[in-house]
Amino acid sequence: MITSACGVDFGTSNSTVGWCRTQCHPQASPLLALEEGKPTLPSAIFFHDDDEDVSHGRAALADYLAGYDGRLMRSMKSLLGSSLMDGTTEVRGRPMPFRALLTAYIRELRDRAQGDAKRVFTQAVFGRPVFFVDDDAAADKLAEDTLGEIARDVGFADVAFQFEPLAAAFDYESRIQSEELVLVVDIGGGTSDFSLVRLSPARAHLTERRDDILANGGVHIGGTDFDKQFSLTAVMPMLGLGGELVSGKQVPAMPYIHLASWHTINNVYTRKMQDMLRQVRAEAVDKDRLDLLLRLVQERAGHWLAHQMEQAKIGVSDNGTADVSLDRLAQGLSVSLTRADLDRAIDQLVTKVDDTVGTLLTDAGIRADQVDTVFFTGGSSRVPLLRERIGARLAQARHVEGDVFGSIGSGLALDAARRFPA
């Protein structure tokens, strides 16, 4: 078999693999089909309890939501560079190292890509956020090293890394006719990443682009943080968050915070935590709300609620409103959420993301009116408040939306073809 180089966008929420079959062509997508003919594989694994079955991607989410007993893992990329990375999680009653989990997912990604390409991939350019970890260079390096080791463990003998927003820039560059100063805005599930680059069809083939890259920047805020805040401000109060105990103290926030993030939902299911919650219910002024929380825990419905909140965020972003059905907690219970609810929940996060853009431009010595184009990519670039804030900062620039889920993988494929020529 012929070996070739591919580009791997291992995302917090979705992953893609791109490969330039012969020559990357602007009209033909280099993305390989990873699940049901689609180019994305959601970054999720579901371990079934009753047999050795493991499902990935959409199938993992569907199996979990269908109510099979087992363990669903998502947002695994966020483990890179965190202290959790050396830890384990319980799968089928046994401790499973988080590292093995990431390895299993990336192996699956490679297998599926090879299956579609009918090639063995031994060389790859992996995308990476500008910062895996904010303000900690050692942890950031460790994150990249760990991902590199995992990539080699699954069979990529040669691994290179590229900043995700630069990959998106290369994808956009393959479609322009003249030189442009471009700000790439890549808002994904886990991180917001930016590159300020001079793009030009004439220089696109060069491997050395240092002079064209004016700045890279990023912050560890993405769609999963929006989901968390949306949940905490719009729905968790219905389950008692912010309420009072008869003593006048507040209902403890910690269980709600655990429930609002994928990684920590299982912490609320321990016997100790359930005993604590029953105690809180006994002392709560509004016991009906705590009953809903206890029901959520009894039903092991934390991941289901987190999924509902993500869907509500997407619904509000696309249509202005969304209804969240809470019928698993009480028959007929639902809540209508609007753009105002979402904006209130994420306002501070959006401010931080927008400030990061401001700092990046200042540090690069570039005025907003010098930027020709803002290229939006990443699923969370669809969040209206974010788009509006960054758009207003760069009001004179042309605003272009890329393939929000595919730009990075396509750009990595181009980069792989340039760095590992056949």
Ligand X SMILES: Nc1ncnc2c1ncn2[C@@H]1O[C@H](COP(=O)(O)OP(=O)(O)OP(=O)(O)O)[C@@H](O)[C@H]1O
165 binding ligand X? (CB under 6 A): no
- Among 4, 6, 8, 11, contact with ligand X (rule: CB under 6 A): 11
User: Residue 92 corresponds to which amino acid?
Assistant: R
4 binding ligand X? (CB under 6 A): no
Task: List the one residue out of 311, 252, 306, 314 whose CA is nearest residue 284.
Answer: 252
- Among 18, 39, 165, 378, contact with ligand X (rule: CB under 6 A): 378
* Contacted entry of Mg ion, ligand X, none for residue 233, CB cut-off 5 to 8 Å set by kind: none
Which residue has the CB atom at the shortest distance from ligand X? 223
190 binding Mg ion? (CB under 5 A): no
Considering only 171-179, 184-192, 335-343, 360-368, which stretch makes contact with Mg ion by CB under 5 A? Answer: 184-192
Instruction: Give the pairing of strands 41-42 and 88-91.
Output: unpaired
> In sequence order, what are the residues at sequence separation of 6 or more whose Cβ sits closer than 8 angstroms to the Cβ of residue 17?
6, 7, 8, 9, 31, 32, 34, 109, 110, 112, 113, 409
Task: Give dist(CA 24, CA 278) in Å, integer.
Answer: 59
What is the full DSSP assignment across 75-121?
Answer: -GGGGTTSGGGG-EEEETTEEEEHHHHHHHHHHHHHHHHHHHHTSEE
Task: List the one residue out of 218, 206, 179, 189 whose CA is nearest residue 306.
Answer: 189
Q: Which is nearer to Mg ion, 193 or 212 (CB)?
A: 193
- Among 57, 81, 379, 402, contact with ligand X (rule: CB under 6 A): 379
Neighbours of 159 (CB within 10 A): 18
- Among 6, 8, 14, 281, contact with ligand X (rule: CB under 6 A): 14
13 binding ligand X? (CB under 6 A): yes
Site string for ligand X, 213-252 (x = CB under 6 A): ---------xxx----------------------------
End-to-end CA distance of the chain: 13
- Least separation in angstroms between CB 9 and ligand X: 6
* Contacted entry of ligand X, Mg ion, none for residue 303, CB cut-off 5 to 8 Å set by kind: none
Q: Which is nearer to Mg ion, 73 or 168 (CB)?
A: 168
Q: Which is nearer to ligand X, 99 or 128 (CB)?
A: 128
CA distances from 358 to 163, 346, 361, 380, 406 (A): 19, 18, 5, 19, 26
Q: Which is nearer to Mg ion, 188 or 411 (CB)?
A: 188
- Among 146, 233, 261, 317, contact with ligand X (rule: CB under 6 A): 317
165 binding Mg ion? (CB under 5 A): no
Could you tell me the two tokens for 67? 């109510």
Instruction: Decide: helix, strand or coil at residue 182.
Output: strand
* Contacted entry of ligand X, Mg ion, none for residue 14, CB cut-off 5 to 8 Å set by kind: ligand X
φ/ψ of residue 387, rounded to 5: -60, -45
**Mutual angle of helices 302-319 and 223-230, in 10-degree steps:** 100
In the complex, the residues that contact ligand X under the rule CB under 6 A are: 11-14, 77, 164, 188-191, 222-224, 310, 313-314, 317-318, 378-380, 382-383, 405
